Amino acid sequence: MKLKLLPLLVAGLALTGCDSTQTNTNTPAVAVPTEAPAAAAAAPVAKTVVPAASNANDKADAVAVVNGQYIPKAALEELEKEIEMRSHGQKFPKEKLVDELIQRELLIQDATQKHLDQTPEFIARLTDAKKALLSQSDLQNFIASNPVTDAEVKAEYDAKVAAEKGIEYKARHILVKTADEAKKLIADLDKSKDSAAEFTKLANKVSLDGKEAQNGGDLGWFLAAQMVAPFSDAVAALENGKYTKTPVQTQFGFHVILREDSRAQTPPPLDAVKDQLTPYLQRQKIETMLKGLRTAAKVEVLIPLTEEKPAAPTPVAAEPATIESVQPTEEAAVAEPAAAKEAPVAAEPAK
């Protein structure tokens, strides 16, 4: 969809927030916590380009003049950056951007003439904006003064990534409804001269796991934690090239499992996960700083933080039963139970 520059961008681009964070889909995922303080996780406030008033001496450094007020070239440069960031690199004609700056200046002058900058509503909003900018400026100053070092990233990598040494398994399985069916499959495998080939054949023929039934029950490489406990325990207990001699029951049914191979899990290199570890460490620093500020401050919460439960209704005394009150009505006599019994739906094996 082509992004159009509206005649007036003040109501849109100038007043909305902006999140310039981009996700690198080529970087291996690292299991690091993502919790962050609310102040640290807040998106940065977008810059609102306000044409600065000037005098005749600044004419050479201006892009336009509106009722004697000059709009500096720096305002145009800031607006170009703002638009480019919000439109993901798309550029707009310079004349459109200059028109936008002129319209902003006209609105500013009109609002000033109407003394809108002196209304209680404007002053309150200006105070809120100042507080937001100050809080973000303090965070930005802290981040600049306390950057995450390469040594800190390396230490976090060694503790959280490289230290995670697990075993990956490559296995196949056949899923059936009953233990007797699984026992029959195991007996067929025992009779076969090539159990691996026979396993693939049987999986394609009888397995209830639709996806794996199309490729001989192949589950690919996985960690034990990715499977339900009875299944993963059985895989871990097998030797490479061996299959289970008894059915393995899970909530999905009964499995016959063939463990094909195993290997030590290889952690991603430091350079591949550095961009994921750095923001995490940065959030940790901010959280520690905020906790320090809270500890050193005198804070008193003046409102209840939990909702009060509504009072229980006063019980109403029941009236004595009469013959009429216990007689079933015609509608009740023919009414059927509303709840219908449904067969449980079989879930697919967890991966």
| 197, 167 contact by CB (below 8 A) | no
- Whether the pLDDT of residue 325 is over 70: the answer is no
At residue 161, the pLDDT reads 80
Q: What confidence tier does 185 reach under pLDDT thresholds 50, 70, 90?
A: very high
d(Cα 321, Cα 317) in Å, to the nearest integer?
A: 12
Average pLDDT over all residues of the chain: 78
Of 212 and 49, more confident: 212
Q: Work out the average pLDDT over 292-315.
A: 82
Q: What number is the average pLDDT over the span 49-74? A: 76
Which whole-number Å values give the CA distances from 199 to 54, 66, 161, 255, in the listed order? 83, 82, 36, 12
Least confident of 32-46, 55-69, 184-198, 298-312: 32-46
- pLDDT above 80 for 50: no
The values of phi and psi at residue 169, to 5°, are: -120, 150
Sign of CA dihedral 125, 128, 133, 136: negative
Kindly list the structural domains of the chain, giving each domain's residue range(s) and its CATH number in brackets, ordered by start. 1-19+34-114 (no CATH), 167-264 (3.10.50.40)
Q: What is the pLDDT of residues 209-243, one digit of tens each?
A: 877 667 999 999 998 888 999 999 999 999 999 99
Q: What are phi and psi of 219, to 5 degrees?
A: -105, -5
This prediction has a pTM of 0.51
For 177-196, b where at least 16 C-beta lie within 10 A, e where not — what string?
Answer: eeeebbbebbeebeeeeebe
Above pLDDT 90, what percent of the chain? 57
Give mean pLDDT, residues 66-90: 89
DSSP 195-228: HHHHHHHHHHHH-S-HHHHTTTTEEEEEEGGGS-
User: What's the pLDDT at 23?
Assistant: 39
Quote the CA–CA distance of 91 and 101 in Å, as a whole number: 16
Spatial separation of the C-alpha atoms in residues 240 and 170, rounded to whole Å: 9
What percentage of the chain reaches a pLDDT higher than 70? 71
pLDDT tier, 204 (very low <50, low <70, confident <90, very high otherwise)? very high
Q: Is the pLDDT of residue 208 over 60?
A: yes
Distance CA 104, CA 53 (A): 12
Contact 236, 227 (CB under 8 A): no
Lowest mean pLDDT among 58-67, 114-123, 159-168, 175-184: 159-168
Instruction: State how far the alpha carbon of 252 is from the alpha carbons of 181, 212, 286, 322, in Å.
Output: 14, 14, 45, 53
**Hey, is 79 helix, strand or coil?**
helix
- Rounded to a whole number of angstroms, the CA Rg of the chain reads 34
216 within 8 A of 203, measured Cβ to Cβ? yes
Give dist(CA 47, CA 160) in Å, integer.
37
Q: Residue 186 CA to chain centroid, in angstroms?
A: 44
Higher-confidence residue of 134 and 44: namely 134
Cβ atoms of 232 and 224 within 8 Å: the answer is yes
Taking residues 83-97, what's their average pLDDT? 86
Q: Is 328 helix (H, G, I), strand (E, B) or coil?
A: coil
Q: Specify burial of residue 254 (Cβ count, 10 A radius: 0-12, 13-18, 19+).
A: buried
Q: Which residues contact 277 (CB under 8 A, 6 or more apart)?
A: 30, 32, 153, 156, 157, 160, 161
Q: What is the mean pLDDT of residues 121-141?
A: 97
